[in-house]
Amino acid sequence: MRILGTFILIILLLTCSLVYADYAWFGGFDTTGNENSAGVALKSNGDLYYVTFNAGASKFMYVQNALTSPVATQISTETLPAGRGLNDVELDSSGNIYISGTGDDAATTVLKKFNAAPAHTQAWSATDTRLNGIELMNDSTLAVAMSWGNIKFKNTSDGLDNATIPIPDGTNYHRSIALNTANNDLYIGKNGNNSGACMKIMSGGTPSNLSGYSLAADDLFSPYGLNSATGTATFPIDFDTTNNRLLLADYYDVNFDPTAGIRVYSISGSGVSTIFTLVKFIDTGYNLQTIGNVYGIAYARCTINSIPSDVIAAAVGYGQPPTSYRIDFWADPPGIEDWVLY
């Protein structure tokens, strides 16, 4: 009986470790000039890239050793119209970097590829009307969320168009894209159109069958979005490739949902049958301050103190309205490291 009881306990612990997320604030740094940051991208070695939403002085930044002893370098300054700025940043498996920024038209929109560190030379620049967030389908194809109704796919080699698929209900401003690498579903973060719902699911396609995507579910996660006519230029989501989890910003909306933070969901099923289960809500960070808003989210598996750890990087503002801006990190040592709690 003791052997059986021990076996059952091990099964229970394994089950808990699969769904439990015990993220705790780990560290971070103030952004350059206390600026409102947007997209972030974290490497497994602890280096980080981020962009700022700051009109004609929008910055593309590189931070070495961001988790422990950050050293920031500005790679470029991007010029966008007043009230706009850089939105998103993505990394491919070779360390090449892609940035995007929303302009008023094709001439004032930013979409660029930079070569990997340490060179960080610009590889190409492309233009397109009112693009928002970006996501890599693979190292060959970059997905771009376009305002008013479609996703455009571009070749990472040259920035040229590959394919375009429509997103139903294009009056919602689609801000971000996350690819579920386990089942190839696309999660589309959205804001605006006077709706607090902030995500939809496109399913049926793959990185090699882009035309196969169609709408599977809509108007998810209300009221965590910003319920206004036009929403906000950045609405971050990301996919945790290690644990099959969705990272979703709970965006502050004084009229409908006066909370802000990062929601972590486990995922089962796909398409219309997808089930999201909340496993963690992160609403505090630096010095136990309450998060005022979230502008960018990224996941990576990093090694901290010789322990492989799940790490969330986020561009956050503290206070409401925010009075300070930081890039902060929350870490969760997975697996057996959690068992000491028992």
Per-domain residue ranges of the chain: 2-341
Stretches where the chain sits below pLDDT 70 are 1-19, 170-171, 334-342
**Bridge partner residues of 297 (DSSP):** 314
pLDDT in tens, 149-189: 889 999 999 999 999 999 887 667 888 999 999 999 999 99
Amino acid 338: pLDDT:
43
Amino acid 171: pLDDT:
67
Amino acid 318: pLDDT:
96
Amino acid 228: pLDDT:
86
Alpha-carbon distance 210 to 141, whole Å? 10
Amino acid 19: pLDDT:
61
Which bin fits 192, alpha (ψ -120 to 50), beta or left (φ > 0)? left
Kindly report the number of other CB atoms within 10 A of residue 165's CB atom: 17
pTM of the full predicted structure? 0.91
Architecture of the domain defined by 2-341: 6 Propeller (2.120)
Amino acid 340: pLDDT:
39
Amino acid 7: pLDDT:
42
Burial 80-101 (b: 16+ CB within 10 A, else e): bbeebbbbbbbbbeebbbbbbb
